[in-house]
Amino acid sequence: MLSRGTTMEGDCLSCIKYLMFVFNFLIFLGGSFLLGVGVWVLVDPTGFREIVAANPLLFTGVYIILAMGGMLFLLGFLGCCGAIRENKCLLLFFFMLILLIFLAELAAAILAFIFREHLTREYFTKELKRHYQGYNNTDVFTSTWNAIMTTFDCCGVNSPEDFKESLFRLMNPKEMVPAACCQQTSQPGDMAYLSQEQCLSGNMMFRHNKGCYSAVVDYFELYIYVAGALAIVVLTIELFAMVFAMCLFRGIQ
């Protein structure tokens, strides 16, 4: 009976060990994915970098993603090694670090909920009216918005009407919209406009009329849902990994 019980305990421990290896391998893959996303955002030439730069919270979020991806990458590696080698020190170190990361992710989610008003149409519209200058490319805010409007073929946050009673109109009273809102005949980099004069005077036929908020959300809608689903999956995997780490830690003689 004792031998049979010992055998069953050993089989259970072996099962936990390999389950923990699988979960940690998934954490390793998740960390690799987050690192890839963070690096892509920083070097991507298609315009997402400019969108992130337009809001300090988003810009900070990119580096948070990189840091979290690096930590998950390292933790997945440590967890796999600790499980296969049945090393109690590695398992305890893994448990403490992944607990800290889990709490940090929860804190980040709470902060994102608290500061969600900084990602609304109203917030971006207010900032655009206050700070956008139109042609001052030395101003980071202005050059960023020019890049967004040119890249996504949009104008303003909601529509070209956002430039009414704005800093841009005060600085350029004869222009209804900036040149970045004007339609182009070829690639954006060529800056060949259909009719810049008609566009600047307010002719709807020669300007982009869709707001950038809708344009950007439509473009990245799929990625937003994928990122949210991935975050839920990662949190679930981390919970199971912590449980398996403690079970394996207590089972190792």
Query: Are residues 155 and 181 in contact, defined by beta-carbon separation less than 8 angstroms?
Result: yes
Percent of the chain, pLDDT > 90? Answer: 12
pLDDT of residue 212: 92
- Residue 142 in domain: yes
What one-character DSSP code corresponds to residue 119?
G
User: How far are the Cα atoms of 20, 72, 85, 153 from residue 79, in angstroms, in the given order?
Assistant: 8, 10, 10, 47
Query: Are residues 18 and 86 in contact, defined by beta-carbon separation less than 8 angstroms?
Result: no
- Residue 201 in domain: yes
What is the rounded CA–CA span in Å between residue 193 and residue 163?
20
Q: Which domain holds residue 2?
A: 1-104+241-251
1-5, 24-28, 65-69, 82-86: least confident range: 1-5
- Residue 110 in domain: no
Per-range mean pLDDT, top range of 38-47, 52-61, 99-108: 99-108
Same-domain status, 129 and 93: no
How many domains does the structure of the chain reveal? Answer: 2
| pTM above threshold 0.85 | no
pLDDT of residue 10: 59
Same-domain status, 178 and 84: no
* Mean predicted confidence (pLDDT) in 74-82: 80
pLDDT band at 73 (very low <50, low <70, confident <90, very high): confident
77-81, 204-208, 223-227: least confident range: 223-227
- Residue 190 in domain: yes
Same-domain status, 32 and 128: no
- Residue 216 in domain: no
* Mean predicted confidence (pLDDT) in 173-193: 75
Q: Does the pLDDT value for residue 46 go beyond 70?
A: no
Q: Does the pLDDT value for residue 158 go beyond 90?
A: yes
Q: Does the pLDDT value for residue 44 go beyond 70?
A: no
The overall average pLDDT reported for the chain is: 78
**What residues does 207 pair with on adjacent strands?**
182
* Mean predicted confidence (pLDDT) in 200-220: 86
- Residue 169 in domain: yes
* Among candidate residues 248, 250, 253, the one with its CA nearest the CA of residue 14: 248
Query: Are residues 211 and 149 in contact, defined by beta-carbon separation less than 8 angstroms?
Result: no
Same-domain status, 163 and 98: no
Q: Does the pLDDT value for residue 155 go beyond 90?
A: yes
